[in-house]
Chain A
Amino acid sequence: MVEKVTIIVHSGDLDKIYSALIIGNGALAMGMDASLFFTFWGLQRLKKGDLEKGPLSKMNMLGLGSWMMKRRMKKANVAPLETLLQDFKDLDGKIIACEMTMEVMGMRKEDLHEDVIDEYGAVGTYIKEANESAITLFI
């Protein structure tokens, strides 16, 4: 049976979104299944156009840190988040949006990057995914 990775993307920080997508893509590249459950601040990043808007988790320095990090990543030829997100989808990764977060934070489907979201779910959806997974992470 194919092994699975499930990641809760709770943080909306730039570096943490990178981690989630890199790990998700890594798992898919190794022949595993991968699900990313976007909740709270993580789901904010799935609002249209907001993917790269997160602050750095440390040393953000009012945005200067994030700007410097993006520059360094570009110099090191690290792919942008939108590319990694598309790659994740191309390799059949699953993206789940947390319905509770949408309700609490007043987000509608139309506000979100709908074409990358496979499912809208609540905690039961996450527990089911995690239960089937060899690797579960909270980012």
Chain B
Amino acid sequence: MKGGRLVAVLLLLAGAAGAQPKGKRNAVSHKPFALASSGVVVQYERYLAERWSALAGLGARRAAREDFRSVTLSFVSEGRFWLSRRDWASDYRGMAGPYLSVAADAARTRVTYVPTDRDVGAAWRIQESLRFGNRFVIWNLQEITPAASLDVIHDIDEQGRLAPGTRTTLGLDFTVGWVF
């Protein structure tokens, strides 16, 4: 019953906007949460057609401290389906308002033991996500996009000391950027 209501709401939102986007077709953004782990993520998004946009980005972080150092390099990608193409708060139209997306990310982390400069090893994390977000656009330029996701995570040790591990979890996402 709840699922049916959700689908109905999504269909209403999807039908509320016209067929052609009236806003800008590009967006560049970064993710402020990354700064907390000494990281950065920069991503580019392009409106494709028929409510769809595609996004790709690169990230890095150097999070390990004390007796260890680490470098993580990431590739992020996402396909978004814009439900209404309208930010109801600002009345901006285009890649704005609520969206559903699927995302796939891959990251490689290498860790070093600092006292002896010993290589501890490297690992991959591959992640698939189902995401729901909402983009706010202000001043016809600035975008702010919070999102929540259901993530499936695969951890893989390159040296094979641990078997691959898979689990699901919830994620929070937040981007700040510009549309143009």
Is B a genuine binding partner of A? Answer: no
